[in-house]
Amino acid sequence: MKSSKRKTTPAEPSPRPASPPEPPTTQTILLAVTGMSPAVITETVWALAHETPPVIPDRVVVVTTISGRQALERELLTPAETGANPPNLWQQLRLALLRDGAVTDERLILETAKVVTAPNPHTGRADWLEDLRTPAQNEATANFLLDELRRWTETPDTRLICSLAGGRKTMGALLCACLSLLGRETDRLTHVLVNEPFDDPRLNPKFYFPGQPQLELKTPGGQTVHANQALIELADIPFVALRNLFERDLVRKPVSFTELVRRCQRRVENMARQNVRLELRYNRRQMHVNGKLVKLSPAQAVVMLFLAENAKNKRRPPTKYRVAARESLPAFAARLREQCQPLDFNDWRDRASLPKDFDDQALRKLLSELRTKLHKAGPEAAALVPFLPEKGRFSLDLNPDAITLL
């Protein structure tokens, strides 16, 4: 999916944006995930301020780890030198963007960094995370981000801009997933890119934004570059806002990201299930899925008729693949042979049988071949694939009224 990009190419010296208009009643919240490079925050803020029209966030919320918070405090909030005015890089950024009103303007307020926490059963408390490495830590991060996004998406008159440029890739991916579930059509998801060599963390001093006080930067090779020559690209990442589709599930405030995803998956499956129609004839080796004809081998026809008949009549399916392959399906094939109409030369059921060595592995292979055949038949037929048997379930997961047996 191609991203749209907004570019800012500051001239030399870097221009300051025109005096921003009076703050609107709607608050703009920039929520960023970061790691050891807090420069993505200042770069994103600078890029937003140089859009047309300028976007100045009211609040900047940072979600990070212990080491990420330390990096943010060290690089953005610690005075560069004694007596410096303004004393730290964040205040310098505010002065560059808000100009003379920086000391009274209540926008661009950086909230205290929010460190991801995870429950620790050994201590009986929630501990801050140093890093994201285990599945449990990733799940804790997803839950943390979900709660933080809910805080803003359920607050009236707010517009959310989420930046996934910082932190581990897992954090960005989880932020995108959470925003797809909770985000509104007016919210944004962005990524910030800076041209070489300004993206190199080895620059001395580091690059944070084109208007930073220390303009002359040394590359690792000894070359001098100027910060006001940097090009910042802000890419808007399209996302699907599923909030309206799952509003009922979101209102119930699930306790975890995993639970919300599970609920939404069930809803999607139910909606997809309602759009699938399956028709089979006992005396023909074929089926129609949403009107699409799919021809079947004798073994595939035995399996599909068995599954469809069980689902149509709400019969309890076999508990194990081995039982289905060795007992249920051979018995069903024998019944089909008995029902063959000898005067109907197109009736295939006299050949309804399974190999003598047919077992659970052969059954799984047959189902895999059937899925491939459905995909090749096109999207109408492929719609049946999610409802075929899967691990732990040998049944056709369709509503009885979606199945026609003739």
Task: Count CB neighbours of 218 within 10 A.
Answer: 14
pLDDT at position 20: 52
Of the CA atoms within 13 Å of residue 294, those in its CB half-sphere come to 30
Site of tokens 């929630």: 126
Q: Report how far apart, in Å, the C-alpha atoms of 16 and of each of 6, 170, 193 are.
A: 17, 35, 20
* Range from 165-169, 233-237, 263-267 carrying the lowest mean pLDDT: 263-267
DSSP state of 287: E
Is the confidence at residue 23, as pLDDT, over 70? Answer: no
**What average pLDDT score do residues 330-337 get?**
95
Model confidence band, residue 198 (pLDDT cutoffs 50, 70, 90): very high
More confident residue, 372 or 79: 372
Q: Rg of the chain's alpha carbons, rounded to an integer?
A: 30
Over residues 25-62, the pLDDT tens digits come to 789 999 999 988 999 999 999 999 999 999 999 999 99
What whole-number distance in Å separates Cα of residue 163 and Cα of residue 236? 9
pLDDT at position 237: 94
What whole-number distance in Å separates Cα of residue 190 and Cα of residue 52? 16
Model confidence band, residue 1 (pLDDT cutoffs 50, 70, 90): very low
More confident residue, 7 or 199: 199
Over residues 261-297, the pLDDT tens digits come to 888 777 777 777 888 999 999 999 999 999 999 999 9
Please report, as a single letter, which amino acid is at residue 363: L
pLDDT at position 100: 86
**What average pLDDT score do residues 137-150 get?**
91
pLDDT at position 155: 86
pLDDT at position 11: 43
Model confidence band, residue 253 (pLDDT cutoffs 50, 70, 90): low
Is the confidence at residue 259, as pLDDT, over 60? Answer: yes
Domain boundaries, the chain: 4-243, 276-405
| Residues 143/257, Cβ–Cβ less than 8 Å | yes
What whole-number distance in Å separates Cα of residue 321 and Cα of residue 364? 8
pLDDT at position 245: 74
What whole-number distance in Å separates Cα of residue 193 and Cα of residue 117? 29
Please report, as a single letter, which amino acid is at residue 272: A
pTM of the model: 0.72
pLDDT at position 223: 93
What whole-number distance in Å separates Cα of residue 283 and Cα of residue 371? 22
Task: Pick the closest to residue 263 from 169, 146, 133, 170 (CA basis).
Answer: 146
- The proportion of the chain whose per-residue pLDDT surpasses 70, expressed as a percent, equals 91
Angle between helix axes 39-49 and 89-98 (nearest 10 degrees) is 0
For residue 393 the two structure tokens come to: 């379930």
DSSP state of 324: I
**Residue 190 pairs with which residues in a beta bridge?**
163, 236
Sign, CA torsion 301/304/308/309 = positive
317's CB contacts (< 8 A; 6+ apart) are 310, 324, 393, 394, 395
**What average pLDDT score do residues 341-365 get?**
92
More confident residue, 179 or 14: 179
| Residues 37/208, Cβ–Cβ less than 8 Å | no
For residue 275 the two structure tokens come to: 């759009």
For residue 27 the two structure tokens come to: 């608050």
pLDDT at position 249: 61
Average pLDDT, the chain: 88
Dihedral through CA 97, CA 99, CA 101, CA 104, nearest 10?
Answer: 60
Element housing 64 (H / E): strand 59-64
pLDDT at position 241: 85
Task: Pick the closest to residue 287 from 309, 304, 312 (CA basis).
Answer: 304
Model confidence band, residue 248 (pLDDT cutoffs 50, 70, 90): low
* Range from 217-226, 256-265, 316-325 carrying the lowest mean pLDDT: 256-265
DSSP state of 167: S
Dihedral through CA 239, CA 167, CA 98, CA 152, nearest 10?
Answer: 50
